[in-house]
Amino acid sequence: MRVVTWNLWWRFGGWAERQKGILAVLRELRPDVVGLQEVWDDGEGENLAGWLARELGLHWAWAASPAPGRWQRRIGDPGVGIGTAVLSRWPVLDRAVLRLPAPDELDDGRLAFHVRLDAPGHPVPFFTAHLTSGADASEVRWAQVAALVDFVAAHRHGTAFPPVVTGDFNARPGSPEIRPLRAAGLHDAWRYAAPGQPSGTWGSGDPEGPDALSARIDHVHVGPPGPGGLGRVLAVRRAGDHPVAGVRPSDHAAVVTDLAGPPAAPAS
C-alpha cells in the first residue's frame, strides 16, 4: 500500500501552473492513499482535492478550515477556502475532524482529519494533520500532537491494520512536539528509508533557493504492524522535489511510504 503526504502550498505562488505539476507527480506515484494539507476550495464548486481525485480516478474526502480568514487576507481573496483532504483508492467508510487547539493569536483553523478506508481484508485507519507553524510555537504544537494522539486512539480500533498518521507537523523529528507520537507507539516511517536518501521536505525563504528542502517537517508515522506484518513499513522516500515543466509543484516535498498490505483483490 502506497501512502503519500503532501502540503500543496494552498493558493500561493503560481498556483494554476503548480496544480498541473501536482497532478503529474501523483499520477506517476500511483498512490493508494494521500493526505493533503493546504488544499484550496474556490467557493464556486471547485476543490483542488476533488479535481485531483477526478483526474486520478480516486475517492476523496475534504475537511474545511473553520477559520480561513488569516489565510485569505494573505492573498487578498476572501472567497477561497483552505482545508485538509484525503485521496483514496478505496471508499471512505467513516470520517472525523478534530480542530487542533491553539491560542487565539495563533488560531488559523488547523485540523486533524481521520478517514477509515474500505481496503480489502482490513479497513485502514488513516489520519492527516496540519500543525501550527512558527519557530516559537513548539508548546502549541506539543498540545496539538497530544490532542492528535488522543484522536488517533479514539478511531484506530476495529481493524488489524495499524493507524497511519501523516501530515505537515512544522517540526523536525527530534523536536519535543514529536515525542507524544513515539510515546503512543507511532513510529517514524523515515527510519526505514535507504541510507543517504535526501529527507528534507521544506526550507525557509525562496523554495528555489539554497536552503530549499533543508528541514524534514512532513511526516508519516505508523503503529505497530498487524498480523503477518500487516502495515509494516517497506520503504520511504520523498517526491515532488523537482520542478515539473519548469515549476516547483509546492514549497514542500511529498513523503512517499510503502506499507505491507492490504492484499490485492483477486481478479474476477
- Helix, strand and coil percent figures for the chain, each rounded to 5: 25, 30, 45
Which residues contact residue 251 at a Cβ distance below 8 angstroms, ignoring those fewer than 6 apart? 7, 9, 12, 13, 202, 203, 207, 212
Which amino acid belongs to residue 31?
P
Model confidence at 85: pLDDT above 60: yes
* Side-chain-facing half-sphere of 31: CA atoms under 13 Å: 27
Contact 140, 176 (CB under 8 A): no
With the CA atoms of 175, 201, 145 and 104 taken in that order, what torsion angle do they form, in degrees rounded to the nearest 10?
100
Q: What is the mean pLDDT of residues 191-210?
A: 81
Q: What is the mean pLDDT of residues 233-253?
A: 96
pLDDT per residue over 22-79, tens digit each?
999 999 999 999 999 999 999 999 999 999 999 999 999 999 999 999 999 999 999 9
Model confidence at 147: pLDDT above 90: yes
* Percentage of the chain modeled with pLDDT above 90: 90
Which pLDDT value is given to residue 206? Answer: 64
pLDDT per residue over 151-197, tens digit each?
999 999 999 999 999 999 999 999 999 999 999 999 999 999 988 89
Which pLDDT value is given to residue 262? Answer: 63
Confidence band, pLDDT 50/70/90 cuts, at residue 209: low
Which pLDDT value is given to residue 210? Answer: 54
Cβ-based burial of 132 (10 A; exposed 0-12, middle 13-18, buried ≥19) = buried
Which pLDDT value is given to residue 263? Answer: 59
Model confidence at 266: pLDDT above 60: no
Residue ranges per structural domain of the chain: 2-259
Q: What is the mean pLDDT of the chain?
A: 94
Residue with cell 516559537: 136
First-to-last alpha carbon distance for the chain, in angstroms, is 21
pLDDT per residue over 177-188, tens digit each?
999 999 999 999
Which pLDDT value is given to residue 212? Answer: 77
Confidence band, pLDDT 50/70/90 cuts, at residue 264: low
pTM of the model: 0.95
Which pLDDT value is given to residue 57? Answer: 98
Model confidence at 268: pLDDT above 50: no
Q: Listing from the earlier edge strand, what are the strands of the sheet with 33-41?
A: 59-64, 81-88, 33-41, 2-7, 254-259, 233-239
The CATH code that applies to domain 2-259 is: 3.60.10.10
Model confidence at 82: pLDDT above 80: yes
Which pLDDT value is given to residue 185? Answer: 97
Between 212 and 195, where is the model more confident? 195
Which pLDDT value is given to residue 249? Answer: 97
Cβ-based burial of 247 (10 A; exposed 0-12, middle 13-18, buried ≥19) = middle
pLDDT per residue over 86-107, tens digit each?
999 999 999 999 999 999 999 9
> For 52-66, 93-107, 128-142, 249-263, which range has the lowest pLDDT when averaged over its residues?
249-263
Distance from C-alpha of 181 to C-alpha of 221, rounded to nearest angstrom: 8
Give the C-alpha distances (Å, rounded to integers) separating 72 from 10, 107, 190: 10, 14, 34
